Amino acid sequence: MDPFASSSAYTPFNAGLGGESAGGISWFWIFVGVVVATLIAVVLYMVLPRASTRPVRENFYGGAISGSSGLACGRMSAEAEALVSMFTSRVLAGKEEDDLNLRDLKAVLSKMLCMKQDLMAPQQTITAAKELGFATHMDIQPVADMTARCFSKTVPERDLSIQFEKWRDFGLNMISRLSASADLTEAEVKKAEELFLAAWKDAMDVALTQCIGRVAKDKVSPHDAAPHTPDALNELREYDGYY
């Protein structure tokens, strides 16, 4: 009898090797299908509920947020918003000098308020002030740089005072020019100055709290004035009046 004449004699052996059920379906592949289906179900359960979520910036800690007047970081000060609105409604649009003065007033307010916003943010990163430009007529250094130094507590109080005094004087000068152009009354001019000084003082109080650190007496900042003796003089003895 030829062993290769018929495969019916080997059918039970092949069935046992392939693990086929009576219906011809492999139990191994059934198990694989169940595992894959389970994994797909788990992934869908984790992904689908989050598919519609979006990152949300809470409060004012995500960047420069303009107020109702369009002032950058204006939401940090109601007084600054009121001041800009006062002049926006009174100054004639299209007059080049007034437009420049109003733009400069907004610029100095934004510098103070965006610095305040970054200093109050919990993450301590430069987000609001990083886009503000440097202007020699109102800044002693870029506001973003000064804010970064505040985080490391390396700003001398003298530098901070000079910067805020410069902002104060420049802002009051712009208010004086705009008030004259808008023909404001004396009471209105006083109100405008009070609004500006309120915003300025609030920003300065935050800066003084966040920027000034405790510096050891034997360590001074390179920005501080300090005595210096040239090396060539160190070899000379003290002159006592005699040769």
Q: What was the pLDDT predicted at 114?
A: 94
Encode pLDDT of 4-16 as tens digits: 444 444 444 344 4
Chain segment 96-140, per-residue pLDDT in tens: 888 899 999 999 999 999 999 999 998 888 999 888 889 999 999
Least confident of 14-18, 33-37, 38-42, 120-124: 14-18
Place of tokens 């693990």: 19
Q: How confident is the model at residue 26 (pLDDT cuts 50, 70, 90)?
A: confident
| 123-160: b (≥16 Cβ within 10 Å) or e | eeebbbbbebeeeeebbbebbbebbbbbeeebbbeebb
pLDDT tops 60 at residue 154: yes
What's the chain's average pLDDT? 78
Residue % of the chain over a pLDDT of 90: 39
Alpha helices in 49-95 (DSSP H): 78-88
Q: Report pLDDT for 25.
A: 60
Q: Kindly give the interhelix angle for 157-182 and 186-211, rounded to the nearest 10 degrees.
A: 160
Question: What is the predicted pLDDT for the residue at 243?
Answer: 58
Calculate mean pLDDT across residues 142-152.
92
Specify the pLDDT at position 57.
Answer: 43
CA distances from 235 to 77, 227, 228, 232 (A): 58, 18, 15, 6
pLDDT at 17: 42
pLDDT reading at 149 higher than 80: yes
Angle (CA) 144-116-171 rounded to 5° is: 85
> What ranges make up the beta strands (E) of the chain?
none
Is the distance from CB of 161 to CB of 130 less than 8 angstroms?
A: no
- Quick check: 178 and 87 in contact, CB under 8 A? yes
pLDDT for the residue numbered 171: 96
- For residues 26 and 15, give the distance between their C-alpha atoms in angstroms, rounded to a whole number: 10
**Are the C-beta atoms of 93 and 99 separated by less than 8 Å?**
yes
Give whole-number Cα distances, 2 to 6, 8, 9, in Å. 8, 13, 12
Cα–Cα distance, 240 to 243 (Å, whole number):
8
Higher-pLDDT residue of 10, 25: 25
Residue 109: name the closest of 198, 205, 185 by CA: 198
Query: What is the CB neighbour count within 10 angstroms for residue 6?
Result: 10
Higher pLDDT, 116 or 46: 116
What is the identity of the amino acid at 212?
I
- Cα R_g (the chain), whole angstroms: 37
**For position 70, what pLDDT does the model report?**
75
DSSP, collapsed to helix, strand or coil, labels residue 20 as strand
Residue 95 has pLDDT above 50, yes or no: yes
Confidence band of 214 (pLDDT split at 50, 70, 90): low
Q: Can you give the pTM of this predicted structure?
A: 0.62
Which two structure tokens, joined as six digits, stand for 186?
Answer: 């004396």
For residue range 61-92, what is the model confidence (pLDDT) as tens digits? 445 455 556 798 988 999 999 999 999 877 76
Q: What is the pLDDT of residue 231?
A: 75
Mean local confidence (pLDDT), 199-219 = 80
